[in-house]
Amino acid sequence: MIQTSSPKVLIQGSIFGIVFGFLLQKGGVAKYHVLIGQLLLEDFTVLKVMMSAVLVGSIGIHFMHRAGLVELHIKPTRYASNMIGGLVFGVGFALSAYCPGTGAAALGQGNYDALAMIFGMLAGSYLFAEASSWIARKIDPLGDRGKLTLDKWLPGSRTVVVFGTAIVICGMLVAVEFLCVQ
Partner 1 sequence: MFETVRPMMLFTEVDSLQYSGSAWSPYLVGGLIGVLSMLTFYVSDKPIGASTAYARVAGMIGLLVVPKHTRSLKYFKDNPPTLGWELMLVIAVVVGGLIAAWTGDELTGQYLPAMWQDRFGEESYLLRTVVAFAGGILMAFGSRVAGGCTSGHGISGTLQLAVGSWVSAICFFIGGVVTAMLMFAI
**Contacting partner 1 within 12-41 (CB under 8 A):** 12-34, 36-37, 39-41
Of residues 159 through 178, those in contact with partner 1 by CB under 8 A are 161-162, 165, 173
The residue from 149, 156, 160, 171 that contacts partner 1 (CB under 8 A) is 149
What is the spatial distance between Cα 140 and Cα 11, in angstroms, rounded to a whole number? Answer: 34
For 62, counting Cβ atoms within 10 Å of its Cβ (0-12 exposed, 13-18 middle, 19+ buried), the class is buried
Q: CA dist 151 to 44, 66, 67, 74, 156, Å?
A: 28, 14, 18, 13, 7
Is residue 76 within 8 Å of 147, Cβ to Cβ?
Answer: yes
What is the spatial distance between Cα 106 and Cα 181, in angstroms, rounded to a whole number? Answer: 27
The residue from 66, 141, 142, 150 that contacts partner 1 (CB under 8 A) is 150
Q: Does 179 bind partner 1 (CB under 8 A)?
A: no
**Residue 166: CB minimum distance to partner 1, A:** 10
- DSSP annotation of 61 reads H
- Indicate the residue type of 167: I
**Residue 157: CB minimum distance to partner 1, A:** 12
The site for partner 1, by CB under 8 A, has a size of: 131
Q: Does 155 bind partner 1 (CB under 8 A)?
A: no
Q: Does 181 bind partner 1 (CB under 8 A)?
A: no
Of residues 47 through 76, those in contact with partner 1 by CB under 8 A are 48-58, 60-61, 64, 69-76
What is the spatial distance between Cα 102 and Cα 17, in angstroms, rounded to a whole number? Answer: 11
**Residue 80: CB minimum distance to partner 1, A:** 9
Of residues 87 through 116, those in contact with partner 1 by CB under 8 A are 87-114, 116
Helix (H) or strand (E) holding 146: strand 144-146
